[in-house]
Structures are given as C-alpha cells and as structure tokens.
Amino acid sequence: EIVLTQTPLFSPVTLGRPASISCRSNQSLVHSDGNTYLSWLHQRPGQPPRLLIYNISKRFSGVPDRFSGSGAGTHFTLKISRVEGEDVGIYYCTQATLFPFTFGPGTKVHIK
Amino acid sequence: EVQLVQSGAEVKKPGESLTISCAASGYNFAKYWIGWVRQLPGKGPEWMGIIFPGDSDTGYSPSFKGQVTISADKSISTTYLQWGTLTASDTATYYCARPSDEDAFDLWGQGTLVTVSS
C-alpha cells in the first residue's frame, strides 16, 4: 500500500502571504500509462472534500489560479500564492495510481 | 446536473445491519467507477473500495475487505455500501466519489453520517 506523508500537519498562515504543503510518497506515483495520479483536495468542516489539483499540476475547473501544484515521482507540493480567508481548512493529497488508493494525513491551514 | 446524492443519516445499534446508498444522475452511470470513503470523527478520509457499475467489478482496500460490501444497481444508477454487523467503530461519515475522465475524484456525494451506539 502506498503511504503518503504531508508536511507540515499544521500551517498557520497570514492573509495575503504564500503557503506551501509538501506530500511525499513511499514509492513512485508514476502509473504504467505514464500519468501520475496525484491530486490535492480541500475540506471544510461538515463538507465533502473538494478537488483542487489533479495529475500533479492541473487545476480543476473553477479553482482559483492562486492554487498550483508541482512535483514528480515521490515528492509533490501544493502552493497557495496569496492566502485568502476561504482557504482555511484541511488539505489532503491523494493518489489513484495504485490500488488501494490512499490519502495523506492532511494539513490543517488556519489564519494566524 | 451531474451529481451524487447519498441517503440520509442513520443511527443504529451494535450488531445491526445497514445499507446506505449513493444515487447518481446526469451522466452515464455504468461507465464511471465510484469509490467509497470513510471519515472517522475528526480524522482524515480513507478509501474503502471502488466499483465499476458497468460490470460490478469491485475492489476493496485491505482494511475494509470482508468488513463491508459494495454493490451497484445499474437500473436505478445507485451504488450501495453494506454492513452485516455494525460496531461502534463504524461510526463515521461515509462519502461516495466518482473520478472524472482523467481519474481525478471531482464529484462527491454530500456524505452520510452513520452513528452506531447502544
């Protein structure tokens, strides 16, 4: 089973400043078809997770361009260029390269 | 509208059985996988398993194999998550989710809260 680790687990951020979350996998997430099925999700309390980024760096429809994803192989990063109040919540990386799919433990983002 | 609508909250006693549902609409149900996710109170989500409604091909995460049953009924575009014997540790919110054509889980149900308590 692929294990995803995230750092930091808690991220106090300042409005208008950048934020970054790292996700590492214990094995490569490159699928045999050449794609890397690493996504980032955002969850607010009482709501289902919402897709932000998929295939490492593709922004899902309607996601603000202040969100970006990067990385390759086993190391991935989600960046928020300028944090806004609505960005608080928990961010999860998740992989669908190898079954069983897995989630990272989550990074809780809150405003300082 | 493309959506997944889950059945309502449940309160059950330990030892009881339960089936919750996830009804799809707005797309060809038979052609997309649907996964089930458990989220324990205050914890992160966990993938439980996945089903392809077209042929009911199903896969379970090791932690959930033998603990739940995932099924689908193409005639009513609905998938199910079933427990034979509930325990208090099954208390959680359960989500169904569908991947897009690019295998990203972009469509989620609203969640079903299951509470198991004596």
Q: Do B47 and A48 touch (CB under 8 A)?
A: no
Predicted local confidence at residue A70, as pLDDT: 97
Q: Do B61 and A96 touch (CB under 8 A)?
A: no
Predicted local confidence at residue B103, as pLDDT: 81
Mean per-residue pLDDT, B19-34: 96
| Helix or strand (DSSP H, E) at A52 | strand A50-54
Mean per-residue pLDDT, B2-16: 97
pLDDT band at B100, cuts 50/70/90? confident
**Closest to A51 (Cβ–Cβ): which among B46, B105, B110?**
B105
Is B9 within 8 Å of chain A by CB?
no
Tokens 């969640």 correspond to what residue?
B111
Is B41 within 8 Å of chain A by CB?
no
CB A52 within 8 A of CB A60: yes
**Closest to A51 (Cβ–Cβ): which among B44, B61, B106?**
B106
DSSP string, chain B: --EEEEPPPEEE-TT--EEEEEEEESS-GGGS-EEEEEE-TTS-EEEEEEEETTTTEEEE-TTTBTTBEEEEEGGGTEEEEEESS--GGG-EEEEEEEE-TTS-EEEE---EEEEE--
Is A20 within 8 Å of chain B by CB?
no
Judged against a pLDDT cut of 90, whether residue B71 lies above it is answered with yes
Convert the pLDDT of each residue in B86-96 to its tens digit.
Answer: 999 999 999 99
Q: Do A102 and B47 touch (CB under 8 A)?
A: yes
CB B111 within 8 A of CB B19: no
Convert the pLDDT of each residue in A9-64 to its tens digit.
Answer: 999 999 999 999 999 999 999 999 999 999 999 999 999 999 999 999 999 999 99
Predicted local confidence at residue A83, as pLDDT: 96
